């Protein structure tokens, strides 16, 4: 058996609307088709909901105490528009860490979603941070 690609990440939330708004604003991920599960949630798709496969599953209806960190440290995405991303984070007063990989030059932007999940977005070295 082998794997060929990452399929999706799943996060837990106690506030589905805030989580959906956050991922729409910062990653342009939008809800799309989802099976009729017995629990609330959403499947989020890339490209403003036009993506072929869901890349982030959100399981809702959890208590705040259930939103605990497991062994996965963060989820990483490839993005475009570093300066715009930084402006959005600053406008919402969301703390972030920005670093540039030695030798590669890739920009790595880290911040937390409303549930405490760490998000990374990687940007091309040619992008400008300011």
Instruction: Assess whether pLDDT exceeds 80 at residue 124.
Output: yes
Portion of the chain with pLDDT greater than 90, in percent: 65
> How far is Cα of residue 82 from the mean position of the Cα atoms in its chain?
15
Q: What's the pTM value of the predicted model, to 2 decimals?
A: 0.85
* Neighbouring C-beta atoms of residue 51, cutoff 10 Å: 15
Question: Could you tell me the residue ranges of all domains in the chain?
Answer: 8-63, 73-130
CATH 3.30.720.120 fits 8-63, yes or no: yes
User: Which CA distances in Å does 69 have to 37, 57, 115, 121?
Assistant: 24, 16, 10, 19
Q: What is the pLDDT of residue 3?
A: 61
CATH architecture of 73-130: Roll (3.10)
Mind listing the pLDDT tens digit for each residue in 44-82? 999 877 878 899 999 998 888 887 777 677 899 999 999
């Amino acid at each position: 058996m082998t794997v060929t690609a990452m399929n999706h990440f799943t996060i837990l939330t106690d506030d589905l609307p805030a989580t959906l708004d956050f991922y729409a604003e910062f990653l342009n991920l939008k809800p799309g088709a989802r099976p009729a599960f017995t629990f609330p949630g959403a499947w989020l798709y890339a490209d403003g909901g036009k993506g072929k496969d869901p890349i982030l599953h959100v399981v809702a209806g959890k208590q705040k105490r259930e939103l605990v960190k497991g062994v996965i440290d963060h989820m990483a995405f490839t993005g475009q528009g570093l300066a715009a991303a930084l402006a959005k984070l600053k406008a919402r007063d969301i703390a972030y860490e920005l670093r540039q990989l030695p030798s590669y030059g890739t920009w790595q932007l880290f911040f937390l979603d409303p549930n405490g999940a760490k998000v990374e977005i990687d940007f091309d070295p040619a992008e400008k941070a300011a």
